[in-house]
């Protein structure tokens, strides 16, 4: 069958405020650098074409930045109108240049990520394939671990209870937050969870709040607990410090979630500043850039564990040549009509075309602003 030309007809952008049931605190709150998180600002892009195809994608911001992402996306989206939606790489470059005065990372990439993801969703749905199959998957399920139950605002008894529930629900590993000003309390919490879950996979995340000396001292102590990884022990941009920890400690080092460009990740990878790269598709510009990162990480022999946004990252992690982890967060569940399945420690790639998600009525109710371009 001959290819039928198609063109982007409309792009609908929506700013959605997702409220959290309780204020969430990680180490950045206890060190006084941030306030507790009460909501997640979501940016959704819904694309339609002249041939009747459609796609949906999203980006997000925790704490500040949501309104700015929405505003930037509104400014650049018109550049995609009339273009062939199949030319995703071309469109990524065009959109990036449309907003180039604010750079090629950070806000600029996070705003266009929602459009980029929507284009992949559209193209995979047009092919009637799940996104993972469309991209070329290596597996139909991915190891998964839970983070949302391990924040520092929860008591250790609450963390243990939630860990048990996660494991009972078929989630394979548990991650808890550390990085408190009192390192002894960190160790008490980690030891308590390790004892509680036995030999189940356990990860810790310091959210960038240790200095180099503390990270080394804590890392050496944590080496005795058989952790899967220590996440963000240092400032996200401290490549040299992360490289030193990676060489010194037995426990693997994981980082990268805060980086918002391929160039920033390349510096991390070239320096072998981690054992596990944690890219975030909405932060680096969408799937176009994420797939570039997968190639770089694979060539360097590194593992990956994408950050947040499991609805997107499950498909992308399934495309990596070696086994990966995907982060289970139930925060976004109210936004979608569908649910991802976990079983025997793994998250199952859905058989629905594209990302396999549709916006719920609740998501529409939480929409604070929307605009259709085209």
Tens of pLDDT, residues 39-61: 999 999 999 999 999 999 999 99
pLDDT at 29 over 80: yes
Give percent of the chain with pLDDT exceeding 70.
100
| C-alpha R_g of the chain | 20
Residue-wise pLDDT tens digits, 142-154:
999 999 899 999 9
Active site residue 307: yes
pLDDT reading at 345 higher than 80: yes
Say which of 177, 265, 313, 328 is annotated catalytic: 177
* The pLDDT of residue 357 is above 80: yes
Residues 289 and 279 sit within 8 Å (Cβ to Cβ):
no
The per-residue pLDDT of the chain, averaged, comes to 96
pLDDT in tens, 198-223: 999 999 999 999 999 999 999 999 99
What does the pLDDT look like over 86-132, one tens digit per residue? Answer: 999 999 999 999 998 888 888 889 999 999 999 999 999 999 999 99
- For the chain, what are the domain ranges? 8-129+360-373, 132-348
Active-site residue (options: 160, 265, 307, 315)? 307
The two beta strands, 202-205 and 173-177, are: parallel
Confidence class of residue 3 from pLDDT cuts 50, 70 and 90? confident
Task: Tell me the longest C-alpha to C-alpha distance in the chain.
Answer: 66
Sheet holding 367-373, edge to edge: 54-62, 37-49, 8-24, 367-373
The whole-number pLDDT of residue 168 equals 96
Distance separating alpha carbons of residues 267 and 33, to the nearest angstrom: 26
Do 172 and 180 touch, CB atoms closer than 8 A? no
Residue range 216-243: mean pLDDT, rounded: 98
Residues in the chain: 374
Q: With a cut of 80, say whether residue 1 has pLDDT above it.
A: no
Q: Quick one: pLDDT at residue 158? A: 96
Question: What pLDDT does residue 273 have?
Answer: 98
Q: Is the pLDDT of residue 227 over 80?
A: yes
For strand 141-146 and strand 173-177, is the pairing parallel, antiparallel, or unpaired? parallel
pLDDT at 5: 87
Domains 8-129+360-373 and 132-348 are alike in CATH topology: no
Q: What is the pLDDT of residue 101?
A: 86
- Tell me whether residue 177 is one of the annotated catalytic residues: yes
Q: What is the pLDDT of residue 64?
A: 84
Q: How far apart are CA 196 and CA 321, in angstroms?
A: 33
Per-residue 3-state assignment (H helix, E strand, C coil) for the chain: CCCCCCCEEEEEEEEEEEEEEEEECCHHHHCCCCCCEEEEEEEEEEEEECCCCEEEEEEEEECCCHHHHHHHHHHHHHHHCCCCCCCHHHHHHHHHHHCHHHCCCCHHHHHHHHHHHHHHHHHHHHCCCEHHHHHCCCCCEEEEEECCCCCCCCCHHHHHHHHHHHHHCCCCEEEEECCCCCHHHHHHHHHHHHHHHCCCCEEEECCCCCCHHHHHHHHHHHHHHCCCEEECCCCCCCHHHHHHHHHHCCCCEEECCCCCCHHHHHHHHHCCCCCEECCCHHHHCCHHHHHHHHHHHHHCCCEECCCCCHHHHHHHHCCCCCCCEEEECCCCHHHECCCCCEECCEEECCCCCECCCCECHHHHHCEEEEEEEC
**Torsion-angle region of 308 (φ positive above 0: left; ψ -120 to 50: alpha; else: beta):** left
CATH superfamily of the 8-129+360-373 domain: Enolase-like, N-terminal domain (3.30.390.10)
pTM recorded for the entire structure? 0.96
Q: Give the right CATH number for 132-348 from 3.30.43.10, 1.10.150.120, 3.30.465.10, 3.20.20.120.
A: 3.20.20.120
């Amino acid at each position: 069958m001959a290819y039928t030309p198609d063109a982007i007809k409309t792009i609908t952008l929506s700013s959605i405020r997702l409220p959290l049931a309780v204020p969430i605190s990680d180490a950045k709150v206890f060190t006084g650098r941030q306030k507790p998180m009460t909501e997640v600002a979501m940016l959704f892009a819904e694309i339609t074409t002249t041939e009747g195809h459609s796609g949906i994608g999203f980006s997000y911001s925790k704490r500040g930045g949501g309104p700015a992402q929405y505003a930037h996306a509104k400014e650049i989206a018109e550049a995609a109108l009339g273009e062939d939606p199949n030319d995703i790489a071309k469109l990524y470059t065009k959109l990036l240049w449309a907003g180039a005065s604010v750079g090629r990372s950070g806000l600029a990439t996070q705003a266009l990520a929602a459009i980029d993801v929507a284009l992949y969703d559209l193209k995979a749905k047009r092919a009637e394939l799940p996104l993972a199959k469309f991209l070329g998957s290596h597996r139909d399920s991915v190891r998964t671990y839970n983070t949302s139950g391990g924040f520092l605002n929860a008591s250790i008894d609450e963390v243990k209870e939630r860990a048990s529930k996660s494991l009972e629900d078929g989630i394979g590993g548990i991650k808890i937050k550390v990085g408190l000003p009192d390192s002894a309390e960190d160790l008490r919490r980690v030891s308590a969870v390790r004892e509680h879950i036995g030999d189940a996979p356990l990860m810790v995340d310091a959210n960038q709040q240790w200095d180099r000396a503390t990270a080394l001292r804590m890392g050496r102590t944590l080496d005795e607990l058989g952790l899967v990884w220590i996440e963000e022990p240092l400032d996200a941009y401290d490549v040299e410090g992360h490289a030193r920890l990676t060489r010194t400690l037995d426990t693997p080092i994981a980082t990268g979630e805060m980086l918002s460009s391929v160039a920033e990740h390349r510096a991390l990878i070239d320096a072998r500043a981690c054992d596990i790269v944690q890219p975030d598709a909405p932060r680096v510009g969408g799937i176009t850039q994420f797939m570039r990162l997968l190639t770089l990480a694979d060539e360097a022999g590194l593992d990956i564990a994408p950050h947040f946004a499991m609805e997107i990252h499950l498909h992308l992690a399934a495309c990596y040549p070696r086994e990966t982890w995907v982060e289970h967060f139930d925060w976004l569940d109210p936004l979608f009509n569908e649910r991802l399945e976990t079983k025997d420690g793994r998250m199952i790639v859905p058989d629905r075309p594209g990302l396999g998600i549709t916006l719920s009525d609740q998501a529409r109710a939480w929409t604070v602003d929307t605009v259709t371009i085209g």
